[in-house]
Amino acid sequence: MLTRRQVLAGSVLAAGAASTLVSARFASGQAAAVPAATPAPTAAPAPAPAAGPFTLPKLPYAFDALEPHIDAQTMMIHHDKHHATYVNKLNDAVAGKPELAGKSVEQLVGDLAAVPEAVRNAVRNHGGGHANHSLFWQIMAPGAPSRPSGELAKAIDKTFGSYDKLAEQMTASAASVFGSGWAWLSLAKDKTLGLETTPNQDNPWMAGKTPLLGIDVWEHAYYLKYQNRRPDYIAAWLKVVNWDFVSAEYKKALGA
């Protein structure tokens, strides 16, 4: 079994050449005075297309769409590099295993016991990363309504007291994650709402739950803009949550 340090070292090595390029671009951007009309960053050449069943979903908006809350450079690296790497390494892990390749990523991470031990850790980390980020892009949107609606709004009031109380508790929860991980609002099998945190790329699917909302608190999600100020990132992220999407997903999950 790989230690977390080994896993991290592996990702750093794999990300090698590409992240050096990105860092250089970023560093030079910081050194020079940025003219007002700086064009939005465009994607660096994409990694070689994944050979395998899992694919990187397209970001449903432009890299700079969530500015000023989440910056374009962070979105570009996060989606095109970090998420792409999870997809590629998940494809490596399921290569030659049709019984795994035929499942959805949520099914895979929801039943890790069914994954052969030799690749279980890789599926947990990279499958978790693929599932988590695929949800993460969808639960954010530019100009989205800032409050839950319909049945979800009622359930939040019933469970947490109010939206403001939920936001407060989710903020505390996300701030409390030690190191890399996520904070979630999820639906348990008994259809109750709850908050939880997970380390690394673990998620509520792994505990038989349905995540509705998740905030990525790995430093790669905020460090370029917010550095050590994770609470500022959490507050900014709450402003771009796509509650229309989350409310609709809640309705679907209730019916499931």
Binding site for Mn ion (CB under 5 A): 216, 218
Q: Rounded to whole angstroms, how far apart are CA atoms 87 and 79?
A: 11
Query: 208: phi > 0 → left, psi -120 to 50 → alpha, else beta; which?
Result: left
Chain residue at closest Cβ approach to Mn ion? 216
Q: Rounded to whole angstroms, how far apart are CA atoms 207 and 55?
A: 24
Q: Rounded to whole angstroms, how far apart are CA atoms 152 and 159?
A: 10
R_g of the chain computed on alpha carbons: 18
Measure Cα distances from 50 to 54, 193, 247 in Å.
Answer: 7, 36, 32
CB nearer Mn ion, residue 80 or residue 216: 216
Verify cis geometry, omega within 30 degrees of 0, for the bond prior to 68. yes
Q: Identify the bridge partners of residue 193 per DSSP, sorted by sequence position.
A: 187
Q: Rounded to whole angstroms, how far apart are CA atoms 117 and 196?
A: 26
| Least distance CB 78 / Mn ion (angstroms) | 6
Tokens coding 199: 């380390």
CB nearer Mn ion, residue 155 or residue 225: 225
Tokens coding 112: 């890790």
Q: How many CB atoms lie within 10 A of CB 88?
A: 21
| Least distance CB 133 / Mn ion (angstroms) | 6
CB nearer Mn ion, residue 9 or residue 95: 9
CB nearer Mn ion, residue 218 or residue 226: 218
| Least distance CB 220 / Mn ion (angstroms) | 5
CB nearer Mn ion, residue 160 or residue 218: 218
| Least distance CB 82 / Mn ion (angstroms) | 5
CB nearer Mn ion, residue 82 or residue 209: 82
| Least distance CB 251 / Mn ion (angstroms) | 27
| Least distance CB 254 / Mn ion (angstroms) | 28
